């Protein structure tokens, strides 16, 4: 549900929030990751690989169960929580054997519901099962690419994938980008759509909220110093001035050059997401 904020100040005049009934207390302490720190846009070598990142409020990372490998053990949804690390909401599960885990909260799931993962179970929202046991046309999320590796696809707020068909050892799955891909039938997926569908319709209202998210202002390359960007320098307003537009590190990949590796995943594509 969307809520338009009253215009009591210029920063709140255009603000629209996605409102959900979530748990307001502290997260489960045993499921907080230790040793996590912000990278400020830097890669493993300590160099900036994603510009215009830095600052922001301090966050605690929740440990999410991407594998859903606790088979045939029922779990009760104890509460639905906000996660500062992702757009979707998360659900805290209490298993019958006493273990606690976080999962991505599917839409239409409520506190007190019972969910389970396994093979011979009902395909209802929140249950995790192999693709071979999921009926064709069922919306799914939290999808594996390799059996047992853990979910890698369809994890953003409000998204879902659809099983188009099954043939041999593979299922044809339509992803949220409309790309169709072959995925092994032994891969696990969770039934339903990811929660917080109105996340993409919210409006932050002011630049300060973007800074709290750790995103700094984006500056055009032509407006920068020539030592900071290949497009920089020149007298007055100047264009790129090069044969090809370049990144800040001088590579000819901006804009429009395809950077996707054709060796690893093209053979599994049935329909590319760019196809018209």
Residue 100 Cα to chain centre, angstroms: 22
Beta bridge partners of 94: 76, 100
The pLDDT of residue 253 = 79
The pLDDT of residue 38 = 86
The pLDDT of residue 17 = 93
C-alpha span between 234 and 131 (Å, rounded): 57
DSSP secondary structure of 13-53: TT-EEE------SPPPGGGBPSS----TTB-TTSSBSSSSB
Tell me how crowded residue 96 is: count the other CB atoms within 10 A of its CB.
11
The pLDDT of residue 256 = 76
Query: Measured between alpha carbons, how far is residue 35 from residues 59, 60, 91, 103, 205 in Å?
Result: 12, 10, 23, 21, 33
Q: What is the strand order of the sheet 114-115 is part of?
A: 100-104, 90-95, 75-81, 114-115
The pLDDT of residue 242 = 84
The pLDDT of residue 175 = 96
- Domains (ranges, CATH) in the chain? 2-200 (2.40.50.140), 219-276 (4.10.950.10)
Dihedral (Cα; 107, 108, 111, 117), 10-degree rounding: -70
The pLDDT of residue 169 = 94
The pLDDT of residue 182 = 96
The pLDDT of residue 240 = 87
The pLDDT of residue 259 = 73
Which residues of the chain register pLDDT less than 50? none
The pLDDT of residue 104 = 96
What is residue 10's DSSP assignment?
A: G
SS (H, E, C) 173-221: EECCCCCEEEEECCCEEEECCECCHHHHHCECCCHHHHHHCCECCCCCH
């Amino acid at each position: 549900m969307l809520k338009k904020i009253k215009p009591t100040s210029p920063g709140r005049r255009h603000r629209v929030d996605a409102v959900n009934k979530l748990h307001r207390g502290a997260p489960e302490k045993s499921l907080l990751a230790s040793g996590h720190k912000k990278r400020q846009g830097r890669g493993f070598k300590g160099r900036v690989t994603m510009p215009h990142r830095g600052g922001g409020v301090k966050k605690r990372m929740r440990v999410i169960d991407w594998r859903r490998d606790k088979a045939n053990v029922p779990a009760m949804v104890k509460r639905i929580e906000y996660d500062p690390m992702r757009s979707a909401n998360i659900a805290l599960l209490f298993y019958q054997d006493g273990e606690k885990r976080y999962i991505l909260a599917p839409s239409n799931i409520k506190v007190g519901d019972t969910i389970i993962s396994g093979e011979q179970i009902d395909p209802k929202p929140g249950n995790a099962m192999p693709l071979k046991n999921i009926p064709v046309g069922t919306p799914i999320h939290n999808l594996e690419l390799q059996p047992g590796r853990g979910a890698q696809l369809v994890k953003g707020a409000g998204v879902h994938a659809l099983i188009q068909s099954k043939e041999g050892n593979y299922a044809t799955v339509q992803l949220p980008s409309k790309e169709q891909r072959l995925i092994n039938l032994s891969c696990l997926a969770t039934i339903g759509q990811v929660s917080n569908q109105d996340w993409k319709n919210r409006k932050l209202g002011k630049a300060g909220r973007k800074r709290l998210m750790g995103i700094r202002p984006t500056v055009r390359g032509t407006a920068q110093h020539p030592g900071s960007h290949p497009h920089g320098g020149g007298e007055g307003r100047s264009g790129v001035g090069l044969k090809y537009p370049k990144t800040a590190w001088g590579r000819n990949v901006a804009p429009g050059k395809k950077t996707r590796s054709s060796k690893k995943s093209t053979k599994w594509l049935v329909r590319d997401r760019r196809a018209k």
